Amino acid sequence: MKSLSEIETVSKRASRAAGYSWGVAEEVAKNIRLLEIFNLPGIKNLNSFFKKKKELRLENISLINKDNEANKNGYCPIIAGLNCLDQIRTIDNLNEITFKKVAYPLLFLPFISRASEVIGKRIFLKIDDSEFLLNFNNNIYSNHAKNEIIETAENIYLKVLENRDSFEEKEWNELYKLSEETFVEENDSLKQSGAGAGLTDND
């Protein structure tokens, strides 16, 4: 089994050899490592993408809008992902955005996972019929369980989710009241036995 360090190093070098700058290659390498950690087929999709990259003639997107539609060949997942990550504050204000036609969308996904950590909010991402909940770049919940290559997505939908508690205020108050039973009222005896008590200052 290949180590995460090997995966990152080879992905970075391959990305540079495929025509990306060293800076972009480093971002791709982080993403492939992330996909493999979450048991998503990063290496498989990256390898396939690089083999077909020249013939695909993909469009690069720079400014992310609410609705983004590529030409007939589709968007490059790496450039689209990078710009989403860079413009995540704008996307947060838009709340939801769409993309029409993105090549190798699993390579786009980890940029959005990392963006979730940047803004401190969960992001819901739908790639055609596959749904992903991205949780602050700590984990990914998904109904996508196939270890496969996805060459293109016709529709990608992204929505930034507002942070909300998963429980009612009543439930919180009840639990907090129970926790109060562990509180100990401070008295003279506790003060004397507390941290630093009885120490002599010899300075």
pLDDT digits (tens, 9 = 90+) for 21-38: 999 999 999 999 999 999
Q: Are 54 and 19 in contact (CB under 8 A)?
A: no
Mean pLDDT of 79-107: 98
Closest CA to 84 of 70, 74, 73, 98: 98
- Work out the mean pLDDT of the chain and round it to a whole number: 93
Q: Position 134: which residue type?
A: L
What is the pLDDT, as a whole number, of residue 187?
Answer: 63
What is the pLDDT, as a whole number, of residue 198?
Answer: 52
Provide the token pair at 121: 């909010």
Tell me, yes or no, if the pTM score tops 0.85. Answer: yes
Q: Which parts of 124-199 fold into alpha helices (H)?
A: 169-179, 188-193
pLDDT at 201 over 60: no
Q: Which residues contact 141 (CB under 8 A, 6 or more apart)?
A: 132, 133, 135
What is the pLDDT, as a whole number, of residue 110?
Answer: 98
What is the percentage of the chain residues whose pLDDT exceeds 70? 91
What distance in Å separates the CA atoms of residue 61 and residue 75, rounded to the nearest whole number? 7
Q: Which residues contact 163 (CB under 8 A, 6 or more apart)?
A: 120, 121, 122
Q: Position 89: which residue type?
A: R
Phi, psi of 139 (to 5 degrees): -160, 165
pLDDT at 79 over 80: yes
pLDDT at 128 over 60: yes
Provide the token pair at 109: 């996904």
pLDDT digits (tens, 9 = 90+) for 59-75: 999 999 999 999 889 99
Rg (CA), the chain: 24
Closest CA to 112 of 100, 99, 101: 99
pLDDT digits (tens, 9 = 90+) for 154-199: 999 999 999 999 999 999 999 999 999 998 766 666 556 655 555 5
pLDDT at 108 over 90: yes
What is the pLDDT, as a whole number, of residue 145?
Answer: 73
